Chain A
Amino acid sequence: MKAYIAKRIAWTFFATWVTLTITFLLLDFSPISAAGAEFVDQQVQQGMDADEARELYQEQLGHGDTAWERYTNFMVGLATFDWGWSSMYSQPVVDVIANSWIYSFQYVFPATVLSVILGFAIGLYSATHQYTKEDYAATLFAFTGISLPNFWFAIMLILIFATMLGWLPTYYSTDVALLSLENAKQLILPVIVLSTAAIASEMRYARAESLEYVHAEFVKTARAKGLSENQVTIRHIFRPAMVPLITILVGDILGLLFAGGYVIEVIFQIPGLGLVSYEAIIQQDTPLVLATVLIPVFIAIIGNLVQDICYTILDPRIDFGDR
C-alpha cells in the first residue's frame, strides 16, 4: 500500500508536469504570446521608462528568445513561486493571489460543506425511498438544479431578493469585516447559488450509486441479521456507495464549485480569485490569468491524489499492483 501511494505521488508529479507543459504550449503558440514582445513598446508608449519596462518584461513568466529558454523560465518560475508581475495591480502575481483568496474561500467553503452534507443525505434518502413522492420531488429538484444556468439564477435571486424585496444587498461590499453578521448576510445569495447546483449534482450521484446497493444481496443479508433500517442504510448502502462517490467529489464537484464561484464573483463583485481572473482577462494581464487558471488546476491535482488515497482506505478490494 505504501508503494501504491508512492506511485500515486510520482504520477501526480508527472501529471503536473504534463499539464504545465500543455499550458506552456497553448500559451506559447497563442497570438497573445506574440504580443508579449510588443509589451515593452506599449509600456514605453504609456510613458514608462524603457529600462523599467524591459525590467518589467523580465518579470513576465516565460519570457525568452528561444522556445526552450521560454519553457525553462516558465517551469522554473512556477516551481519557485515566481509567477510574474501583474501589470493591472502593479504587484507580483503571488501577492495578488494572497490578497484575494480569502474572499473566495469564505463562501466556497461553507457552500461545499453544505452541498456535500445535503446532497448525500437527500440522495441517500431518495435511493432508499425510490418511487415515493419524496423521491420524485428530490429528483425534480436535482434536474432543476443541474439545469439552472447559475449566472441567470443569481440574477433572478438578485431581482427578487435585492431589487424587488430589498432584503439583501445587490453587490458585495468589502467595507464590512469578514467575520461579521453583515458579511454573512451578503454571502447568503452567493452560497445559495453555488450550493444549489452542487447539491443537485451530488444528490444525483449519491442516489444513483446508492441505488446500486439498495437491492444488493448483502443489504438483504444485513436486514436478515436484524439490523435497523438506519443501520442498514448507513453501514450497508451508504458506506459501499462512498467508494465511487469519492471520485466524483474531486472530479465533478470541485470543477462545478470553482466554475460557479467564478461567475458568482463577477455578478456579486466579490473580489476573490474569480473576479481577479475576470478582470485580468479583460485587461489582458496574462501572468495573472495564467495564475488564476492554474490554481484550480493545482487544487484539482492534489484533490485527485487525496481521493486516490481515500480510495485505498475505503475499498479493501483495490488492487495495489496495477495503476
Chain B
Amino acid sequence: MTMTDDPLLSIRNLQTYFHTDDGVVKAVDGVSFDVDRGETVCIVGESGSGKSVTSESITQLIPIPPGEIVGGEVYFDGEDVTELSTGELQELRGGRIGHVFQNPQGALNPVYTVGYQIREAIDAHHDLSKAEARQRAIRLLEDVGIPEAATRIDDYPHEFSGGMKQRVVIAIALACEPDLLIADEPTTALDVTIEAQILDLLRDLQDEYDMSIVFITHDLGVVAEIADRVVVMYAGKVMETGSVEDIFENSAHPYTEALLECLPGQSNLEPIPGTLPSATDPPDGCRFHDRCEYATEECRVGDQPALSEIEDGHGVSCVHWQRGSDGLPEPTDVRGPVRSTGGER
C-alpha cells in the first residue's frame, strides 16, 4: 500500500437510524470527520450522543435490523466501505480495522481459552499452521504486556482480571496488524490506575504497529491524555471538531465549553441544565439549543448549522460561531427547576 496524504478514514454525512417500536431513533444523523494515518481521533460525548453507533457503523457492526445505515459514505483508504459486499467487509473487520469494546468482562467468550480466541482472529485472515498461529498469539499477548504469555495463553477468560482481559481484547484487535484501531470506551469499566496502564499501552502500541486510533470516550480527561484530534458529538450530531488544543484551549461551541465546565475536580463546577432531547423527535435547529445559554431565535429553526471552519481543521456547528469577533448574544437564563420530562428511560 502506498502512503498518500489522503486520510485513512473519511466519514461523510453518515446517518445511522434504528427502527424501534417508539419510532425511528436517529442515533447518528449526518456525521462527518476524517482520521489521518497514525493519528488518534477521540469521539467524545455523553451517553446517547451516538458516538458508539458512529464507530460501529464504520464496519457495520451495528445490528441490522433494527439498525440501518440510511445515508452517507465511509471511505477507508479511499474505498467506500458502505458499498462493500459481506465477504469484503469481513475481510476488513479484524484484518485492517481492529475493534476494542467497552466491557472486557463481556468481550471474551467464556467457554474458549484466550489463545483460541486470538488464533480465531488470526485464522480468519491468514493461512497459518496451528503452531505458527499459536506463536503469533503468544507474541501478541507479550506485546500487550501479559506476563508469562506462554503459560497464560491456555487459560480461560475468567482466570484473568479486568485489566488483563482488556489487554487480551486489544491483542485480538491487533492480531492482523490493523491500520485502524477503533476503541469504544476501552477504559470506562476499569479503575483509574488500570485505565492509566491501558492508555499507556495503546500509545506504545500505536507507535509499534503504526496505526490510527479512533477512540470513543465520555471522559474529557482521557481525551486530553490521548487525542491528537477531537470530535465532540451531541444527540447524533457533530458539535465541534478540531485538534486537542483547539478543543481544550480554544473551544468554540457552547456545548464543548459546558462539558469542560462540568468536569468534577475543578473549582467552579457548572452543570448543564436540562436533559438530552428526544432521539425519535429531535428539536429543530441546533440540537443543543434548549440547554444552551446563548441560544437565540435563529438557533431554534432550520437544521443543525453546518460545520463552519474557524481556522484550519477547527470546525464548529453553531449559529453564533463568529461570536468571538462580532460579540456574543446575551446569555439567556435557561436554569430553573429541572423539568422532569421523563424522556429517557
Residues of A near any B CB (own CB < 8 A): 131, 215-218, 220-229, 231, 235-236, 239-240, 243, 314-317
Contacts and interface: CB of A to CB of B under 8 A. Distances in A.
B75 interface: no
Interface residues of B, number: 38
Given A221-B172, A225-B93, A315 B121 contact: no
Contacts of A215: 63
Contacts, number: 85
Contacts of B65: 131
B91 A226 contact: yes
A224 B106 contact: no
B173 interface: yes
A92 B188 CA distance: 71
A218 B156 contact: no
Interface of B: 56, 59, 61, 63, 65-66, 86-87, 90-95, 98-99, 101-103, 106-112, 117, 120-121, 124-125, 156, 158, 169, 172-173, 175-176
A226 B90 contact: yes
Contacts of B101: 217, 220-221, 224
A243 B109 CA distance: 13
A69 to B, nearest CB: 52
B90 A240 contact: no
Contacts of A226: 90-95, 121, 124-125, 176
A226 B120 CA distance: 9
Contacts of A222: 109, 120
B111 A314 contact: yes
20 contacts: A131-B65, A215-B63, A217-B107, A218-B108, A218-B110, A221-B108, A221-B117, A223-B61, A224-B61, A224-B98, A225-B94, A225-B175, A226-B93, A226-B121, A227-B90, A235-B109, A235-B112, A235-B120, A239-B109, A317-B156
Contacts of B109: 218, 221-222, 235-236, 239-240
A226 B125 CA distance: 8
B59 A224 contact: yes
Contact of A217 (B66, B91, B103): B103
B61 A317 contact: no
A223 B95 CA distance: 12
Given A224-B173, A226-B90, A227-B90, 11 more contacts: A221-B101, A221-B172, A224-B98, A224-B99, A226-B121, A226-B125, A239-B109, A240-B111, A243-B111, A315-B110, A316-B158
A307 B283 CA distance: 56
A33 B280 CA distance: 71
Contacts of A217: 101-103, 106-107
A303 B222 CA distance: 54
Interface SS, A side = helix
A217 B185 CA distance: 13
Contacts of A229: 86
A44 to B, nearest CB: 65
A285 B305 CA distance: 88
A316 B111 contact: yes
A227 B99 contact: no
Q: Which 7 A-B pairs have the closest CB atoms?
A: A226-B94, A217-B106, A224-B99, A225-B94, A225-B121, A226-B93, A218-B109
A221 to B, nearest CB: 5
A83 B63 CA distance: 59
A228 B87 CA distance: 8
B107 A227 contact: no
Nearest to B93: A226
A227 B108 contact: no
Contacts of A231: 124
A155 B138 CA distance: 63
A240 B110 contact: yes
A224 B90 contact: no
A318 B124 CA distance: 29
Contacts of B66: 131
A217 B59 CA distance: 16
A223 B93 contact: yes
A42 B110 CA distance: 65
A217 B124 CA distance: 19
Contacts of B108: 218, 221
B106 A225 contact: no
Nearest to A129: B65
Point out which of A223, A235, A240, A243 has the most chain B C-beta atoms below 10 A from its C-beta. A223
A225 B107 CA distance: 12
Contacts of A240: 109-111
A316 B110 contact: yes
B110 A225 contact: no
Contacts of A223: 61, 93
Contacts of B87: 228
